[in-house]
């Protein structure tokens, strides 16, 4: 083996080791920041309602629900939204060219009738055929439009929204009754706030009746259990860690609150990406900083939105590959934010971290694993280097997952049973031996397809819905 080759292999060995040191060191720092943020946040959450000082001052909110072929569940979802505990809001369902009988179901259930409403088209969308108004609920409207995808549907909803704040959500999201109360607080505390995201939890294993959570539980499916810990880690120290620095780049498309005028000024949702939710947030940062506007994009850690996670490998693989492609597209479309002279913490810390460890991270991680394992078997990688690599790749991952579970236990205590805590701790260890690695491989494949110009799409989410009970026949009070 020549001296040049040996030198190259040693350089690669140190590169991969230093990369994993930086990766896990960054996660540890985020974890510490999240702990301090949560310690400050929790004393303010003494009750489930808004502080008395805000009574009567809550801004009205438009709930935007894009839906496609959701005939079997849409009525239950709408009924649950109409029962949310918030002073003034409207529900706008956007039927994005469904091919099932969803629109007919909505017409019958909510007594919809065409409403000759004139509205300002501030964002371009696919043609809107009809706008319906419910004769039973004055705060419920349905938009029937040609199919254009979720981003296009949200833009149509923004055009029709009457209120200054809008909440973008999925048709199958399950909210706590006080979800809007918690999510609106940053807008009341700081008028500079233009967007706020909330925590998303796994609904598998829970019990939901009439669209509301009645019992929090853990899924019996192993893949869903892995995702439960994964979501805890992502929200409780990932986004909570970036929020105090105003450097958070992701608000989940399942549930986020936005200032309508700021989104319209930034151009609304882009329809040429599968990650329209993240792309909008990154673009809002870039737009506001280019315009020299003072703003905040923040996060509320309360467990306020529940969603079903995939329980089979095929569906999970499609979801994670779609997420990775969406992340790559979002960062690439807004690369001007990176190290921008007015970029602040998001341009100099958040964006570089996301680019290095999340955008290109799967490529480096997969190649690094292969290099270290093959190199050790060939005697190229030393025994000491292998031990350090495994400690960084496995032990620190376990530590971070366990710390996220402890944060949950000390703060919101959603899973009260000791047996549930034991299961979560066990999963926090097991996920590092196969689950996280296969996720990296899927994301690596998604990057290869993106780099080679492969097509990206939403795919189909296979849902079981076995955690939902049929909606009761009782009516909800008219608004």
Query: Can you give the residue ranges of every domain in the chain?
Result: 3-24+357-451, 60-346
- Does residue 462 register a pLDDT over 80? no
Supply φ then ψ for residue 214, to 5 degrees: -110, -25
Distance CA 154, CA 164 (A): 15
Residue 130 tokens, joined: 């009809």
Q: Which helix (H) or strand (E) holds 257?
A: strand 255-259
Mean pLDDT on 139-148: 96
Over residues 184-234, the pLDDT tens digits come to: 999 999 999 999 999 899 999 998 887 788 888 999 999 999 999 999 988
- Per-residue pLDDT, 420: 93
Q: Are 469 and 208 in contact (CB under 8 A)?
A: yes
Distance CA 91, CA 326 (A): 27
Mean pLDDT on 384-403: 84
CATH topology of domain 60-346: Spore Coat Polysaccharide Biosynthesis Protein SpsA; Chain A (3.90.550)
Q: Are 245 and 43 in contact (CB under 8 A)?
A: no
DSSP code for 336: G
- Per-residue pLDDT, 465: 53
Confidence band, pLDDT 50/70/90 cuts, at residue 46:
low
What does the CA dihedral 199, 204, 209, 210 come to, rounded to 10 degrees? 60
Average pLDDT, the chain: 88
Over residues 157-174, the pLDDT tens digits come to: 999 999 999 999 988 888
Distance CA 313, CA 319 (A): 10
Listed range (95-109, 355-369, 378-392, 431-445) with the worst mean pLDDT:
378-392
- In this predicted model, which residue has the larger pLDDT, 21 or 2? 21
Q: Which residues pair with 196 in a beta bridge?
A: 257, 298
Over residues 364-391, the pLDDT tens digits come to: 999 988 888 888 888 877 888 888 888 8
**CA 429 vs CA 25, 320, 335, 405: distances in Å:** 19, 21, 36, 12
Q: How many CB atoms lie within 10 A of CB 14?
A: 11
Over residues 59-94, the pLDDT tens digits come to: 999 999 999 998 888 888 898 899 899 999 999 999
Least Cα distance to 55 among 82, 26, 87 occurs for 87
Over residues 277-323, the pLDDT tens digits come to: 999 999 999 999 999 999 999 999 886 889 889 999 999 999 999 99
- Per-residue pLDDT, 256: 94
Mean pLDDT on 253-261: 94
- Per-residue pLDDT, 141: 97
């Amino acid at each position: 083996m020549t001296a040049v080759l040996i030198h190259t292999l040693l350089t690669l060995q140190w590169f991969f080791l230093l990369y994993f040191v930086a990766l896990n060191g960054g996660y540890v720092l985020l974890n510490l920041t999240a702990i301090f943020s949560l310690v400050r946040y929790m004393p303010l959450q003494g009750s489930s309602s808004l502080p008395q000082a805000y009574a009567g001052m809550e801004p009205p909110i438009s709930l935007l629900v894009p839906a496609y072929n959701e005939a079997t569940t849409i009525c239950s979802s709408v009924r649950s939204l109409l029962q949310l505990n918030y002073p003034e809001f409207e529900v706008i369902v956007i039927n994005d060219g469904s091919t099932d009988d969803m629109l007919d179901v909505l017409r019958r259930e909510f007594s919809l009738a065409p409403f000759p409403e004139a509205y300002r088209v501030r964002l371009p969308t696919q043609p809107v055929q009809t706008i319906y108004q419910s004769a039973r609920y004055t705060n419920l409207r349905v938009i029937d439009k040609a199919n254009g995808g979720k981003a296009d549907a949200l833009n149509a909803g923004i055009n029709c929204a009457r209120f200054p704040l809008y909440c973008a959500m999925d048709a199958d999201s399950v909210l706590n009754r006080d979800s809007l109360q918690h999510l609106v607080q940053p807008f009341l505390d700081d008028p500079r706030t233009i967007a706020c995201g909330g925590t998303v939890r796994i609904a598998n294993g829970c019990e939901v009746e009439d669209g509301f959570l009645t019992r929090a539980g853990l899924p019996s499916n192993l893949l869903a259990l892995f995702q439960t810990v994964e979501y805890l880690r992502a929200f409780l120290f990932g986004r909570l860690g970036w929020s105090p620095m105003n450097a958070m780049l992701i608000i989940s498309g399942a549930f986020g609150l936005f200032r309508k005028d700021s989104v319209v000024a930034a151009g609304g949702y882009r329809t040429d990406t599968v990650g329209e939710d993240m792309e909008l947030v990154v673009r809002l940062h870039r737009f506001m900083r280019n315009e020299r506007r003072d703003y905040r994009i923040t996060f509320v850690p309360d467990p306020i939105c529940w969603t079903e996670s995939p329980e089979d490998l095929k569906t999970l693989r499609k979801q994670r590959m779609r997420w990775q492609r969406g992340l790559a597209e979002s960062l690439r479309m807004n690369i001007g934010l990176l190290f921008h002279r007015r970029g602040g913490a998001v341009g100099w810390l958040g964006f570089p971290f996301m680019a290095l460890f999340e955008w290109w991270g799967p490529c480096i991680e997969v190649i690094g694993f292969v290099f270290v394992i093959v190199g050790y078997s060939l005697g190229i990688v030393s025994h000491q280097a292998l031990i350090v690599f495994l400690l960084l790749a496995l032990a620190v991952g376990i530590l971070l997952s366990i710390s996220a579970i402890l944060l949950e236990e000390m703060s919101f205590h959603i899973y009260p049973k000791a047996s549930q805590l034991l299961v979560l701790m066990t999963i926090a260890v097991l996920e590092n031996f196969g689950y996280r690695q296969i996720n990296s491989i899927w994301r690596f494949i998604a990057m290869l397809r993106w780099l080679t110009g492969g097509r990206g799409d939403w795919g189909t989410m296979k849902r079981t819905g076995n955690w939902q009970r049929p909606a009761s026949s009782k009516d909800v009070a008219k608004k």
